[in-house]
């Protein structure tokens, strides 16, 4: 039987090995959509009542979408664990270490990663993040109380951890402060709208939707007065310095994704495109000379739409099977 669009999404469990105390290799196993994303769905359905701090146990493989305290207690050795943290698009994540009882000298570790790692690929990509890759990892065993709280650069972060002894434990306090100028975002949902504004900063910002979707660009303002222009799968906007590109792919690293369209001229009015990939990205490249703005909506493609796209040889580069 042909896989549904959800079955075509990435399947991940992170398996971690450590070389000379550093995170060098990240591998993946498989998890069904009922695994990782059901964790997110159940998390989003929870409610925090009154002013009590929400708390629950942390699982070896987990998805956390709420503020609160999360405690992991090992009932046996756990050598390859990862917790995914996600916030609303206009927020970042802070992770504070509390009550840590692990054996750093015996090979245990807790490492916060600034972003997500999926299928061995990283979001944001190295091209779009301000820190070198290894500085995006913060190891409790290296920093200890010197860096008790770690703050992400975007609305997602991860914690890798390994413990060798039953009874080892730690508690993380997670908060989601507001980010006035969000950059590099993973959407919590397959449908919604967003306006990305880059205020005269030389940086690249991506909005990632881990579903096959239809993108509708409602407004594009790049600080100059040219007419709208769209070039499908052509590098016509690279020399503009400021432009938006639509990307599609089955991984997370935007530098490895396929260009679907370039938009490098101002535009008001709907322009839409259906992208059948597991991951659809709206990426803005900014020279820092202008205030750039793009507003868009997105919605999940249904099965019939995916079947129609698959029959079009010009647009089915992300569909398999």
pLDDT recorded at residue 128: 92
List, in sequence order, every residue forming a beta bridge with 213; answer none if it has no partner.
275, 300
> Is 105's pLDDT higher than 60?
yes
How far is 278 from 312, CA to CA, in rounded Å? 17
pLDDT recorded at residue 45: 52
Mean pLDDT of the chain, nearest integer: 79
> Is 191's pLDDT higher than 90?
yes
> For the segment 240-262, what is each residue's pLDDT rounded down to a tens digit?
788 999 999 988 899 999 988 88
CA distances from 211 to 118, 222, 318 (A): 14, 27, 11
**CA distance from start to end of the chain:** 10
> Is 22's pLDDT higher than 50?
no
Domains plus CATH for the chain? 13-175 (2.60.120.290), 189-310 (2.60.120.290)
- Parallel, antiparallel or unpaired: strands 213-221 and 267-275: antiparallel
Q: Which of 204, 201, 217, 193 is nearest to 154 (CA)?
A: 204
User: Would you say 14 and 80 are in contact if contact means Cβ atoms under 8 Å apart?
Assistant: yes
Average pLDDT over residues 173-178: 96
Q: What percentage of the chain exceeds 70 in pLDDT?
A: 74
> Is 118's pLDDT higher than 90?
no
> For the segment 24-63, what is each residue's pLDDT rounded down to a tens digit?
333 333 333 444 555 555 555 554 444 568 999 999 999 9
pTM: 0.79
């Amino acid at each position: 039987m042909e896989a549904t669009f959800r079955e075509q999404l990435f399947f991940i469990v992170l398996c971690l090995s450590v070389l000379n105390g550093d995170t060098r290799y990240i591998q993946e196993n498989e998890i069904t959509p009922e695994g990782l994303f059901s964790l997110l769905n159940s998390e989003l359905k929870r409610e925090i009542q009154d002013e009590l701090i929400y708390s629950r146990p942390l699982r070896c493989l987990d998805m956390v979408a709420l503020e609160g305290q999360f405690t992991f207690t090992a009932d046996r050795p756990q050598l390859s664990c990862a917790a995914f943290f996600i916030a609303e698009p206009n927020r970042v994540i802070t992770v504070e270490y509390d009550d840590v009882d692990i054996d750093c000298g015996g090979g245990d570790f807790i490492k916060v990663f600034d972003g997500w790692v999926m299928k061995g690929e990283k979001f944001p990509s190295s091209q779009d993040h301000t820190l070198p890759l290894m500085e995006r990892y913060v190891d409790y065993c290296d920093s200890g109380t010197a860096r008790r709280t770690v703050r992400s650069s975007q609305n997602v972060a991860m914690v890798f951890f390994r413990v060798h002894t039953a009874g080892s434990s730690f508690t993380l306090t997670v908060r989601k402060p507001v980010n006035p100028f969000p950059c590099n975002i993973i959407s919590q949902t397959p449908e919604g709208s967003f306006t990305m504004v880059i205020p005269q900063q030389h940086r690249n910002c991506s909005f990632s939707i881990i579903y096959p979707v239809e993108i509708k660009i409602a407004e594009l303002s790049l600080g100059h007065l040219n007419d709208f222009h769209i070039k499908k799968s052509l590098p016509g906007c690279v020399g503009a310095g400021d432009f938006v590109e639509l990307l599609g792919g089955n991984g997370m690293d935007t530098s490895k994704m396929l260009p679907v369209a370039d938009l490098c001229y101002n535009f008001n009015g709907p322009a839409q495109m259906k992208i059948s990939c597991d991951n659809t990205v709206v990426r803005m490249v900014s020279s820092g000379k202008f205030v750039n703005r793009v507003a868009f909506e997105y919605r999940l493609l249904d099965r019939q739409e995916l079947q129609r796209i698959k029959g079009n040889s010009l647009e089915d580069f992300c569909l398999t099977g």
